[in-house]
Chains A and B, each alone.
Chain A
């Protein structure tokens, strides 16, 4: 398993041909209290950079983009009743979606943990 980050603060944790997508701890702290998460349908196909979800804080709505191209295989239904999981555990229970990755090569264009920490420093 390896975790990759985008410049827009999404992460994707790769496990074989599947990736789990969410937002970074830095992103959740910047957004503040999350009150609603809009998730895509299972089976939906996205190209890298497409809007896949919307996260609403008290103040505003923010778009979440596909870190790589692929097909949604699972969404985190727990976020419907407990969107604050994104604040309390963004890299764990606050994940958004799982997707099958079309081209693992796209992951190499993303940042690793160290590079991401530099990016937000």
Chain B
């Protein structure tokens, strides 16, 4: 992403808090955001894996879609609003239970990924969806969703407040001090609660591989919420740098790097996002290509690599034992948890099996890079007992 001149950068509502906490502000997705605080990326990363990291992800795109003329029958109204959104994505939106959050993909007609996003069914209002998209794609996503649902549903962007992610094994205990009811949420569920006179949307979700919460808060209570969380000794602020190293270890793709408009869900190893009902109905954009790849195999596959030596960064070429070019790194860096270089890459499908020895070309040198299953560091999501 090209850097924007500082004068054109948008400030998040918590900008002053980041500066006061020693945040090193950098341009990201059109916003000025902290890449790290004083402790640095590795310490913030390790703190999140052992305690609780507090991330400001207000650059992302939270929004709501409400059916215009609800019947009052919650299930019928959910079916109606789901039917407006499903033509854009490959996920089963109709099948969401109240409060359930689903990871899905916005697709083009060629089966390429326009964005990866969260779509959730309101736990309280039939016919309302809570949708969170990526920062870099939010204007296009919002326009697309609004256009596809115009006349039948009201689309409201909610990116004028704060979106905070509280992530790590102690996040649940921290949340228990603030809003005890929210700790009852299972992974990929959300609820809304009053806190200090404001209504918070709290989802049990995140982008680190850890248990945790993502909290949407109105602008006028954002500083109070930040302060309340930050005051807990188990919580330290963590910047975009740690967010990136944590998600890389968790094997989670980053839109604009590991995913783009040419990448299909099958290539990207996101087949779990293709719901059975939608596959059988073949009723999502690019279904022909995607289902063909699912049946006969894609032209390339996303894999994890354990890299020897220097980090292999985005754009590094992957070669096989004969030196032939067989792929490219789409995200790569240093894993603080493993103390070594790791990468996500796209390679020829016959080379995608774990254990395959490949090489990443770094500054003209071939470094061993072995295909390995992802996540690199096991997920520790909170699965609620059934």
Contacts and interface: CB of A to CB of B under 8 A. Distances in A.
Interface stretch (B127-135, B191-199, B306-314, B375-383): B306-314
Interface stretch (B35-43, B69-77, B101-109, B252-260): B35-43
A52 to B, nearest CB: 13
Interface in B318-369: 333-334, 336, 341, 363
A33 B35 contact: no
B35 A36 contact: no
Interface in B23-77: 35-36, 40-42
B334 A35 contact: yes
Interface in B239-257: 241, 244-245
A33 B42 CA distance: 7
Contacts of A38: 310, 363
Contacts of B40: 32-33
A108 B333 CA distance: 39
Interface in A57-75: 57-61
A56 interface: yes
Nearest to A30: B24
B241 A32 contact: yes
The range of chain B's interface size is 10 to 19
Given A32-B36, A33-B41, A33-B42, A56 B311 contact: yes
A103 B35 CA distance: 41
Nearest to A35: B334
A121 B41 CA distance: 24
A29 to B, nearest CB: 9
Contacts of A36: 309-311, 334, 341
A54 interface: yes
B241 A59 contact: yes
Main DSSP-derived SS at the B contact region: mixed
Given A32-B36, A32-B40, A33-B42, A58 B334 contact: yes
Contacts of B334: 35-36, 56, 58
- Most B CB within 10 A of own CB, among A38, A54, A58, A59: A58
B338 to A, nearest CB: 11
Interface in B282-325: 309-311, 313
Interface in A34-88: 35-36, 38, 54, 56-61
A56 B241 contact: no
A32 B341 CA distance: 17
B336 to A, nearest CB: 7
Contact of B42 (A54, A56, A58, A60): A58
B310 A56 contact: yes
Contact of A61 (B244, B245, B311): B311
A61 B36 contact: no
Contacts of B333: 58-59
Contact of A58 (B245, B309, B310, B363): B245
18 contacts: A32-B36, A32-B41, A33-B40, A33-B41, A33-B42, A35-B42, A35-B334, A36-B309, A36-B310, A36-B341, A54-B363, A56-B310, A56-B311, A56-B334, A58-B241, A58-B336, A59-B241, A60-B313
Interface of B: 35-36, 40-42, 241, 244-245, 309-311, 313, 333-334, 336, 341, 363
Interface of A: 32-33, 35-36, 38, 54, 56-61
Given A58-B336, A59-B333, 11 more contacts: A32-B36, A36-B309, A36-B310, A36-B311, A36-B334, A56-B310, A58-B334, A59-B35, A59-B41, A59-B241, A59-B244
